Structure 1
Amino acid sequence: MRADTLFTGGRIHTGDPARPVTDALAVTAGRITALGATAHALRDERTETVDLAGGALLPSWGDGHVHPLIGGLGLRGVPVRDCATLAEVVEAVRVWAEEHPEAEWITGDAFDPWLAEGGLFDAALLDAVVPDRPVLLRTMDHHTGWANSEALRRAGYTADTPEPAHGEIVRRPDGSPLGTLREFGALNPVLALVPLPDLAEQVDALRGTARVLASAGVTWIQDAWVEAVQVDTWIAAVADDGLAVRANLALLLEPDGWAGRLPRLAADRERVEAAGGGRLTARAVKFFADGVVESGTAALLEPYSDCPHSHGAANWTGAELADAVTAVDALGFQPHIHAIGDHGVRIALDAIEAAARRNGPRARRPVIAHVQLVDPADLPRFAELGVIANFEPLWAQSDPLMTELTLPRIGPERGARQYQIAALLRSGARVSFGSDWPVTRYEPLAGLATAVTRQTPEGLPEGGWLPQERIGLDEALAAYSAGVAHQAFEEDAWGVLRVGLRADLVHLAADPYAVPAGELAGVAVLGTWLGGRRTH
């Protein structure tokens, strides 16, 4: 046997406790065939040698919760992501509208929800620059929209419009819509009016996102929100080996009429599996147990501190969620449940427990994503039920979202038990990491820095926010590699560097163990390989 590729000239961190570090790695036919001196012995004149140039080679990373199509298309609208004030957002809308007179709708994604006091956005500000075409912008968490008056008019929203199920039309004192729409019950009627890009544009956006993720060292992703109309986009994108990552799809299941949609989920899974060639699967089902704290829609066990009459909004009753999770579990799907508030987390755990009790034992590996607030009584249930806690580590910092919106809404006691990554690891629970991009940055290196330090990019606060929840670099790297591979049911294929496993690799310009933790986000990714094929 000879090596097709030999990696040498730097430190190779395998992620395998049996052999954590080596100096060479050989790849043949897309698989790791040797490490160390044995790898050197497989080199001949036809072997490609990759000089790590003093950097490091590691297992590539997965993203256990990301929105590649939503994010890719969102980048093509008004560039509001980096706006620092409301005035900047409004000016960006004005400029984009002038430059695109042909656009029927003006849309933009991922602006910061703390730019307006209390997260309340007024249509009048958008009306001043675009009075005659509909405008819909979505905050970085995608749970809140900012509409102008024309968008509200087209959706039929008036003072007489009943409050939608699973959503809120924020109103002025006279009952008329302010322009702020919270959660999907209020957003979806407006989103349904926005023309979809054609298939070619969607495929281009998806493939572009895959290339961007590959450039950050990612080789596997969980698309955590796939609607039925998007399945064909994924199938088209994977054709002709057109994706730079492997992907699993979580098919969305909403509460209304959920049982009638089960056959469609199963049929879409079969279509994806048939077309995916092993690179694309659709083995998960996505549930939204609740909303988000910043908009007051996360479901809490106790009332909001700034709104004592509200516990937030669970999208499912506990009994309904248990029935639906049990049904998709019986079909062999992996439940993937968005749960932010401690009540949302509890009903998600209850539903998973019900599915296991009713359907019997199997390797189900359910995922609860985000896990912002967990009641102390529920912490041990993750390990007991085999639930994977999928965290977005970039959320675990004291940034303006936390200080200006989240903490005032939940108060100091609950605020001090957010994103308990270390506590769940200590309990024996399995943890995976994701980005939730476009909500936050897609680069795992940025997430590693936050998970290890619990600090902002500016290094604040000194000592870290809730420092008891900091984790070590070994644990953080494993959450992005072996942890996501476990979530994907693929720990026998990738996630560590071991002979026989797929050569999914990332080459960094510096050894992450030799870089101050707060500087990890600045380390360059020099190369990414998926099954031995270079994707970046």
Structure 2
Amino acid sequence: MTTFDTLILGDIRTMNPEMSTAEAVAVINGEIAWLGTRAEAEQLTAQETQDFGTQMILPGFVDAHIHPILGAEMARGFDLSEVTTTQQLDDALTQAAASTGEGEWVFAWGLDPTVIADRNICAADIDRSVVDQPVFIRMFDAHSGVVNSRALQLSGVDGTEQFKSQSEVEIDAQGKPTGFLKEWEAMNLVNQVMPAIPFETRLELFLEVLESMADEGITGGQILDRTDGMLDLVRAAEERGELPIRLTFSPWIMPGDQDEIITEIIDMQGTTGRRWGVDGVKLMIDGTIDNGTSWLSYPDINGQSTRPLWLDPASYREVLLRLDAQGIRTTTHAIGDAGVEYVLDVIAETTQPHAADDKPGHRIEHIETLPDRLVPRFTEVGAAVSMQPRHCTLFCAPDGSDNWSQRLGDDRRKDAWRTNSIRQTGAVVAIGSDWPVAPSDPLAVIAEGELRRQVGKPETEPVVPDEALSREALIAGYTSDRARSWGETDRGMIANGMLADFTIFDQDVFAVDADDLPTVNVVATIIGGKLRRPANTASAAR
């Protein structure tokens, strides 16, 4: 008789339509080797038994879009996400400067652009509070930032800079930089003169983020960026012990990246550790609606968001088709409708398996505004999608008073985050957080994807409620559909031969009221059959 490594008992929901429930699962060598009832399990032999009683066991939750290295560095300093007035901003920056060493950089993040009405925030707005110390504030969309006059002086930014992408140093009527920086190349002008974060500090920040995500019930995440030394960091993390969650690195190729960088990323594919690997590439066709760098079919209210991030979108096409020819999956950041349509057109030219094979070949991220005519095209070209429900619920107001809605206008605001419409066509929809742009707690993401409003605020009107997803679809977006979106056949369901990755909750997450979902406790996560308990039973990392 086979002796299994571990026997796990509980209320098991497999996300496998061929066998939707079970009461016991047996694990050997990190994989699922048997499923059945408790009565049947009594006949088995295992080295260890984990009995979770009536608690719910699901396939391990995988966040389709995270930035645990870049994001931990982006989110250093002071959190300004609760700042809504100029007085609050002044007070927060004054406090931040006072608690920072003399002459040292002041960092902050998460600022909503609506704190300043009718224009972008500028250096003069920061200079009111902080003059002698350089200040860098990352806006909440992560694609723009603002610095004060001292930071402009130290960086040498003068407004004449030319970029390989549609990045921009905003200038005033006299041609002088205002301090507002759009997109990555522009922000990097200042980043390169900031003090570097020591490797050990970066490692600690990275591990703290992963531990927090594991406490929330996440067993895996897809990292969609490229940072210096990222593989050195994950190797160093694994030297300390097992990673708290599995990681898939899909490093980005940015507009203007030279051939040697593209070749390096291609050669990086297939690199693995015990709980991590490099698989696929992220691309970006546009920026964000909030800072006017998305690619819309017609301009926003400010006459912006009319161009792709790539100076020549044909270069984007060449890169994606080159990757496709080598069997490398891609996922493309595409927010505006013109950007989404262009990416769909390019995916239509690719050769990887499409919808007819039930294996999406490439994926598109975000898709924040989409007209009716483009909704069916995902299934037509075999593209999967990856969406972040809390981008809608946290940053859009139901009355249209937020920056995103104001820029688009009422005619396009109704086409916001069309998760349900896209999924109804049969497209595969993965779900994620885009941490740190939005919090990573998967139960809050699921709740708000269903409610289309912020959890715990029943008095708030939902944003385009017809686009709400069902509880089942959202959980699938973290499990079975997330795996399908990336062509992974060894995870996403509880079935024989799959990785033994599970998330265990103390309640039935299919039955709990949506507003109460974030109060459900994570009992444990299991990766490859190895148990991990959260830092505390209340899942306080949320």
For 1:126 and 1:374, locate their aligned partners in 2 and report how far apart those are by CA, in whole Å: 36
1:310 matched to 2:311: no
The equivalent position to 1:455 in structure 2, one of 453, 456, 459, is 453
1:239-260 per-position Cα deviation (integer Å, ceiling 9, x unaligned):
3544211111122212214434
- Residue in structure 2 matching 1:386, options 382, 386, 392: 382
- Measure the CA separation in 2 of the matches of 1:398 and 1:98: 30
Q: Alignment partner for residue 348 of structure 2, among 337, 353, 377? A: 353
- Could you say if the C-alpha distance between residues 320 and 160 of structure 1 is closer, same or farther in structure 2, counting changes exceeding 3 Å? closer
Residue 284 of structure 1 and its aligned partner are, at CA, apart by 1.6
1:322-360 CA-to-partner distances (Å, cap 9, x unmatched) read: 111111222332112100000111111122223339x9x
Once residues 3 and 160 of structure 1 are traced to their aligned partners in structure 2, the CA distance between those partners, rounded to angstroms, is 66
Q: How does 1:293-332 map to 2 (within 5 A)?
A: 293-304=289-300, 306-307=301-302, 309-316=303-310, 317-332=312-327
- Code of the residue aligned with 2:15 in structure 1: it is G
Task: Write the distance in 2 (CA, Å) between the matches of 1:216 and 1:281.
Answer: 22
- Give the number of the structure whose residues are more often helix, by fraction: 1
Which residue in the other structure is 2:463 paired with?
A: 465
Q: Counterparts of 2:110 and 2:98 in 1: how far apart (Å)?
A: 21
Shift of 1:377: 2.7
Q: CA deviation at 1:212?
A: 1.2
In structure 2, the partner of 1:376 is 372
Give the structure 2 partner of residue 169 of structure 1. Answer: 169
1:159: Cα distance to partner? 5.9
Query: What is the match of residue 98 of structure 1?
Result: 98
Please give the alpha-carbon distance, in whole angstroms, between the structure 2 residues aligned to 1:219 and 1:42.
30
Q: Name the counterpart of 2:540.
A: none
Aligned pairs for 1:402-441 (under 5 A) are: 403-441=401-439
* More divergent stretch after superposition (514-523 vs 105-114): 105-114
Q: Is the 8 A contact 2:360 2:384 kept in 1?
A: no
Residue 538 of structure 2 is matched in structure 1 by none
Moved more, 103-112 or 517-526: 103-112
TM-score, length-normalised on structure 1?
0.90
Is 2:488 the counterpart of 1:481?
no
Q: Supply the AA of the counterpart residue of 2:504.
A: H
Counterpart contact for 1:338–1:369, Cα < 8 Å: yes
Structure 1 residue 292 corresponds to structure 2 residue 292: no
Query: In structure 1, how many angstroms separate the alpha carbons of the residues matched to 2:372 and 2:396?
Result: 26
TM-superposition CA deviations, 1:205-259 (whole Å, max 9, x none) = 2122111111111112110111354333233333354421111112221221443
Given the alignment of the two structures, is residue 531 of structure 1 paired with residue 499 of structure 2, yes or no? no
Rounded to whole Å, the distance in 2 between the matches of 1:113 and 1:497 is: 44
Residue type matched to 1:48 in 2? T
TM-score (norm 2): 0.89
Alignment check: 8 A CA contact 2:293 2:304 kept: no
For the 8 Å contact 2:210–2:244, the answer to whether it is kept is yes
> Which amino acid in 1 is paired with 2:363?
V
Q: Distance in 2 between matches of 1:451 and 1:99?
A: 38
Aligned in 2, Cα 1:119/1:512: closer, same or farther, shift over 3 Å? farther
- 2:253 is matched with 253
Aligned residues of 2:103 and 2:132 also touching (Cα < 8 A): no
Instruction: Tell me by how many angstroms 1:282 deviates.
Output: 1.6
Deviating more after overlay: 245-254 vs 98-107 = 98-107
Asked whether the 8 Å contact 1:299–1:341 carries over to 2, the reply is: yes
Distance 2:330 2:109 in 1: 27
Cα RMSD for the two superposed structures? 2.8
Paired position in structure 2 for 1:281: 277
Residue 3 of structure 1 contacts residue 42 of structure 1 at CA under 8 Å; is this kept in 2?
no
> Contact (CA 8 Å) 1:399, 1:456: kept in 2 or not?
no
Q: Do the aligned partners of residues 6 and 296 (structure 1) sit closer, same or farther apart at CA in structure 2, a change above 3 Å counting?
A: same
Distance 1:257 1:44 in 2: 55
Give 5+ residue unaligned stretches, structure 1: none
Q: CA deviation at 1:432?
A: 0.4
Within the candidate set 390, 393, 396, 1:397 is matched to: 393
Deviation at 1:103, TM superposition (A): 7.2
Contact 1:144 1:295 in 2 (8 A): yes
Change (3 A) 1:396 1:76: closer
Other structure's SS at 1:418 match: coil
Contact map agreement 1:109 1:138 (CA 8 A) in 2: yes
Compute the displacement of 1:3 (Å): 4.9
Pairing partner for 1:339 from 329, 334, 346: 334
What whole-Å deviation, never above 9, does each CA across 1:262-311 have from its counterpart, x for those lacking one?
Answer: 222133336x33xx24x22222222111011111111101121x12x434
Whether contact under 8 Å (1:213, 1:443) holds in the other structure is: yes
Residue 399 of structure 1: how far off its partner (Å): 4.6
For 2:238 and 2:322, how far apart are their aligned partners in 1?
29
> Which amino acid letter does the alignment assign opposite residue 518 of structure 2?
A
Distance 1:268 1:133, change over 3 A: farther
The aligned amino acid for 2:210 is A
Q: In the aligned structure 1, how far is the partner of 2:433 from the partner of 2:250?
A: 15
| Deviation readout 1:494-534 (Å, 9 max, x if unpaired) | 21122332221111121112211222122221211111112
Equivalent residue letter for 2:280: A
C-alpha distance after superposition, 1:354-381 (max 9, x if no partner): 3339x9x996721110011223332222
**Conserved 8 A contact 1:221-1:246:** yes
User: Does structure 2 retain, via aligned residues, the 8 Å contact 1:203–1:237?
Assistant: yes
Question: Which residue of structure 2 lines up, in the alignment, with residue 265 of structure 1?
Answer: 265
Number of aligned residue pairs? 526
